[in-house]
Copies of this chain bind each other. A is one copy, B any other.
């Protein structure tokens, strides 16, 4: 499979062009995408619970889900939490809700027409974000050695998502209240046993990638990953499993990494991080990759949703 085709396993949809989706809107700014099956569930929830925070505005074929104007972050969080708990109790959407993690994610909004930085509208369980097409944010690290080899991890065979697939050196989702760099440094220890002293002198934030992923079950996941490089000073610093998320780590040369991407052995969004790393380091070039500009465009898909 070509590299571009492999990357399209991660960025595989455009919810903005799916006419069947309804909008989740806050202060006149769209923050998510609601499928008809979810809208139906919200309608039933509202009939049963009489919530006055969560609101459906009927708008012909394209209804809008919103949260009542003037509500606080705590009120919005409580309303969304009640909705998701109700869905979970009724087992309406076992995929994705059976993947419950007890990790609150921040959902962002911003004032309409404003160029100002967005704010956290509310928090929501990680596993529930896909139900509403809310953007989620993560951190991905590529650790490499002076001889140009790259550390990759193999995901635990017992992980709910993408078991036994290759992953970047270290990666994780950003929990509400966390800043990307702090989150990245903590994950380095929890997943790979790299201490803050081993990481801090060599880690560099390098940008972010963004894309839309549609899961096999049809859920839309707008995602943005903050990327980091860790230029290890020697091969003596070794990544090793700590919390069991990663089963093992391997130090592979560039060609071996690329081959595993093209044979789809990498978790799809991790392949995007690999491509970005290769492009930034001059290993993927206009001259050696016929889909060069298409690949870069795929890595940098604008979400058109509020981001941190």
Contacts and interface: CB of A to CB of B under 8 A. Distances in A.
A290 B205 CA distance: 15
Nearest to A118: B293
A179 B286 contact: yes
B117 A296 contact: no
Nearest to A117: B290
Interface in A276-298: 279-282, 285-287, 290-291, 293-294, 296-297
Contacts of A179: 286-287
Q: How many copies does the complex hold?
A: 2
B297 A302 contact: yes
A308 interface: yes
A226 interface: yes
Secondary structure of the A contact surface, majority rule: mixed
Nearest to A303: B297
Contacts of A205: 279, 282, 285-287
Nearest to A203: B282
A301 interface: yes
A192 to B, nearest CB: 20
Contacts of A300: 296-297, 300, 302
Contacts of A301: 302
A7 to B, nearest CB: 12
Given A181-B285, A285-B181, A286-B181, A293 B280 contact: no
A209 B300 CA distance: 10
Interface of A: 4, 115, 117, 179-181, 203-208, 224, 226, 229, 279-282, 285-287, 290-291, 293-294, 296-297, 300-302, 307-308
